[in-house]
Copies of this chain bind each other. A is one copy, B any other.
């Protein structure tokens, strides 16, 4: 297992334990995690802290150069908001745990030159499968449905 995807999964699991939505993310620069986070909708009453956004926020203010040399790992295919943030900062590569549960803006990111690697990881799929079964209204809220 890629240790960075594992770190994103650990974040997702931490969110689940907190009663939240199990999606996690880490940002990696030069082989080191510079920001990590997970969805905080429930925990902070937040409409914007998806996993990727929380990781970006926790990475703090970075020079443009750092983003352009980074990889973002996320347990689930990035939604339009998170894809927009990836595009804004010019992060060149996204490692996606899975996109069976939700297909984000992968095509749009690719059209902008972003490399997307979909791992199709069984743990990521199971986390979302169980969560969407157990809390469908919360999941719909998170994607504006």
Contacts and interface: CB of A to CB of B under 8 A. Distances in A.
Nearest to A82: B84
Give the number of times this chain occurs in the complex, counting copies: 2
Interface stretch (A2-10, A11-19, A52-60, A120-128): A52-60
A92 B81 CA distance: 15
Interface string A75-94: 00001111111011110000
Chain A binding surface, main DSSP class:
helix
A136 to B, nearest CB: 13
A80 B63 CA distance: 18
A45 interface: yes
Interface of A: 41, 45-48, 53, 56-57, 59-64, 67, 79-85, 87-90, 105, 108, 140-141, 143-145
20 contacts: A45-B60, A46-B61, A47-B59, A47-B60, A47-B62, A47-B89, A48-B53, A48-B56, A48-B85, A61-B141, A63-B141, A64-B141, A79-B84, A80-B84, A80-B88, A81-B81, A82-B84, A84-B85, A89-B144, A108-B108
